[in-house]
Amino acid sequence: MTQVSHQQWGQVPGLGNVDMWTLQSPQVRVEVLTLGAIIRSVSCRGKHGQMEDVVLGYDDLEGYVSDKRYLGALVGRVANRIAKGHFVVEGKEFQLDTNNGPNALHGGLRGFNKEVWLAAEVEGGVILSHTSPDGDQGYPGELQVSISYTLQGETLTADYRARSTKATPINLTNHSYFNLSGQGAADIYDHEVSISAQSYLPVDDTSIPTGEIRPVEDTPFDLRVPVPVGVQLKKVPGLGFDHNFCLCSPRDDWTERHAARVLHPPSGRVLEVSTSQPGVQFYTANVLDGSIRGKGGVTYGKHSAFCLETQNWPNAVNQASFPDCLLRPGDEYHHVTRFTFTTV
């Protein structure tokens, strides 16, 4: 049985009140904010029964209002990068503001993470909804979007739905940063990760996929068998992992698949992720640099957490060989991601 409650958590000038919703099962406790549909915390037990919050975040609302790293947030209208912020839909060109070098990232200068969402209780959780107007951040069509977070036992389910009045690219994900040892841990080098992907997407020097779908075999991106994150990071070029792992082929049917498993041996905590999305972006917090002061005054540095952003493949709107990312009038966008927290 999951208990659901909510309370006012603060106020954002010009946007109004922000509430915090709490979902509590016997095994897991989750806090969700109406600002950005943010997962503020996930508390779960270790092998000795101790509860720890395993999600990075802030002690107060101001932290989230000024946050530039998408901590815990729902990102959209299009998560990840669009090359040069440019795409063509039905013969019409669209130019977005660029906010990540030459590219558009995570919905633009003011993405869904900075909006206050409407919230209502559903069985075992909360449903949050938002209307993105036609032309919002340069995207076509009025988009009606919702996400429900429901908690059943050890499993938190995120259910994303959307409809649009015009054909538009869409790619929604949650950008929670996890550290399974809890708050205050300096890094994730002692975590063990496995990702159920036969291939990944190589990227250029601005993190845009080159278009190649490369087998993981005999590369540092072969995570099909669990490996310590710290060991594997030494083998990856650049700052760390920030790559899309392909969970299926581009034209495969919609179905839920196992995506990833992360184990923290000292605490025994395990996070397993499954999703209907065709990809997962494994990100090792490469650009956190200690300048962010998070919960309890802890500073979040490089490699202090990991993200498993279930999503369509990056820049899919500009790559015909990637899974289709267009939502057309009359169709419904629908994806599901499940996070299960257990111990060994």
Is 309 an active-site residue? yes
Q: Catalytic one among 130, 175, 264, 303?
A: 175
Query: What SS3 state is found at 318?
Result: helix
Task: For residues 111 and 78, give the distance between their C-alpha atoms in angstroms, rounded to a whole number.
Answer: 9
67 is in an annotated binding site: no
237 burial level (CB within 10 Å; 0-12, 13-18, 19+): exposed
The tokens of 1 are what?
Answer: 């049985």
189 is in an annotated binding site: no
Is 106 an active-site residue? no
The tokens of 158 are what?
Answer: 């995120």
191 is in an annotated binding site: no
Task: For residues 277 and 312, give the distance between their C-alpha atoms in angstroms, rounded to a whole number.
Answer: 6
Sign for the CA dihedral angle at 316, 322, 323, 327 comes to positive
Query: For residue 212, which amino acid is it?
Result: E
Q: Catalytic one among 192, 264, 309, 335?
A: 309
> To 10 degrees, the CA torsion angle through 183, 189, 190, 191?
80
177 is in an annotated binding site: yes
What is the phi-psi region of residue 70: left when phi exceeds 0, alpha when psi lies from -120 to 50, beta otherwise? left
- Residue ranges for the known binding site are 80-81, 175-177, 242
Where in the sequence numbering do the catalytic residues fall? 175, 309
Positions at the binding site for beta-D-galactose: 80-81, 175-177, 242
